[in-house]
């Protein structure tokens, strides 16, 4: 399904206008973009396919879960190093 959203909705994500989604920032612009996408099946198909590909590549549970596990690992390693430093400092 093609995505029509505000530019704010895509900010901070790898979503690109006219590749993965179509931006609209005012009610009239939404109507115009919806009508344009409905009138052009090729645009519908391309937006839907590229959007799905992006979600599967960058935002799937497997990808996000792996990133989260790495972040937890890094945080725990930093905490362990800091605790070891504080113990050495307290003993000195």
Which DSSP string do the residues of 5-53 spell out, in sequence order? E-HHHHTTSS--BTTTBEE--SHHHHHHHHHHHHH-HHHHHHHHHHHHH
Over the stretch 18-71, which tens digit does the pLDDT of each residue have? 999 999 999 999 999 999 999 999 999 999 999 999 999 999 999 999 999 999
Q: How high is the pLDDT of residue 4? A: 97
Helix, strand or coil, per DSSP, at residue 3 = coil
pLDDT at 7: 95
Task: Report the pLDDT averaged over residues 7-22.
Answer: 95
Across the range 1-28, mean pLDDT stands at 95
Give me Rg for the CA atoms of the chain: 22
Residues 6+ apart with CB under 8 A from 33: 4, 22, 23, 24
């Amino acid at each position: 399904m093609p995505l029509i959203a505000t530019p704010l909705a895509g900010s901070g994500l790898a979503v690109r206008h006219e590749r993965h989604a179509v931006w609209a920032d005012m009610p009239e612009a939404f109507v115009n973009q919806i009508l344009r996408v409905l009138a052009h099946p090729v645009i519908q198909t391309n937006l839907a396919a590229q959007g799905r590909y992006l979600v599967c590549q960058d935002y799937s549970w497997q990808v996000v879960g792996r990133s989260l596990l790495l972040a937890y690992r890094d945080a725990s390693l930093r905490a362990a190093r800091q605790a070891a430093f504080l113990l050495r400092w307290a003993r000195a």
